[in-house]
């Protein structure tokens, strides 16, 4: 060898230097990357709280064995509330209440006795009927509704879901603007 570096040797030296520089850069990046923070206790508690939804509170009265205020999981239905309170009394009008209907927090369920109208009527001062959970007999008490339309309201609600606004009751066949005006101050949704 005459002391000169050939082109091939230069290429090899260049590759070795490049590999050394790349390795050093890689190692420097690894060392400067921050360690991932461990989960903090309050974050994991927040996850726990989110996974356990808050129960709803409902009040059941009328022809049941143990009327009162009960707490149930969200999404519970009327039949589950009836089971929790011990079941129907013998003279309960089981057909007057939609037992498959979901419950809402803060509502009251009235189970009438056979042949009995519920104690809440739209004529009561300040009391509005929630059209999202009223039975056909409660809806029947509204002026201009009657038994047939009351059943249509319940059937519409069961088929299409809850009313978001009281004006949506006009989607029920036979309920127009005039009927709505007569009942608007006596109905509500929640």
What CATH number is given to the structural domain containing 184?
A: 1.10.150.320
Give me the mean pLDDT over the 178-186 stretch: 92
- Distance between CA 44 and CA 110 in Å, rounded? 41
- Assigned domain for 41 exists: no
Query: Where do we find the tokens 């509330």?
Result: 81
| pLDDT-wise least confident of 58-67, 74-83, 108-117, 159-168 | 108-117
What is the side-by-side order of every strand in the sheet holding 108-111? 68-72, 56-62, 108-111
Total-model pTM: 0.44
- How does the average pLDDT of the chain come out, rounded? 84
- Assigned domain for 60 exists: yes
Residue 95 domain boundaries = 52-188
32-86 pLDDT, tens digit each: 656 666 555 555 555 555 667 899 999 999 999 999 999 999 889 999 999 999 9
- Assigned domain for 70 exists: yes
Structural domain tally of the chain? Answer: 1
Closest by CA to 116, choosing from 131, 95, 85, is: 95
- Assigned domain for 18 exists: no
- Assigned domain for 12 exists: no
The per-residue pLDDT for 121 is 46
């Amino acid at each position: 060898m005459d002391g000169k570096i050939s082109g091939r040797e230069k290429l090899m030296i260049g590759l070795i230097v490049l590999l050394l520089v790349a390795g050093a850069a890689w190692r420097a990046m690894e060392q400067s990357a921050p360690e991932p923070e461990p989960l903090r206790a309050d974050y994991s508690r927040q996850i726990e709280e989110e996974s356990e939804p808050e129960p709803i509170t409902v009040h059941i009265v009328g022809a049941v064995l143990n009327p009162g205020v009960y707490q149930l999981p969200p999404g519970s239905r009327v039949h589950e509330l009836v089971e929790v309170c011990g079941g129907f009394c013998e003279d309960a009008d089981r057909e007057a209440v939609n037992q498959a209907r979901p419950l809402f927090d803060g509502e009251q369920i009235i189970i009438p006795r056979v042949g009995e109208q519920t104690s809440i009527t739209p004529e009561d001062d300040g009391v509005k009927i929630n059209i999202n959970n009223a039975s056909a007999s409660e809806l029947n008490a509204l002026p201009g509704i009657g038994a047939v339309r009351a059943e249509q309201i319940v059937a519409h609600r069961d088929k299409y879901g809850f009313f978001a606004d009281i004006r949506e009751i006009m989607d029920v066949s036979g309920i127009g603007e005039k009927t709505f005006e007569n009942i608007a101050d006596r109905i509500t949704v929640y």
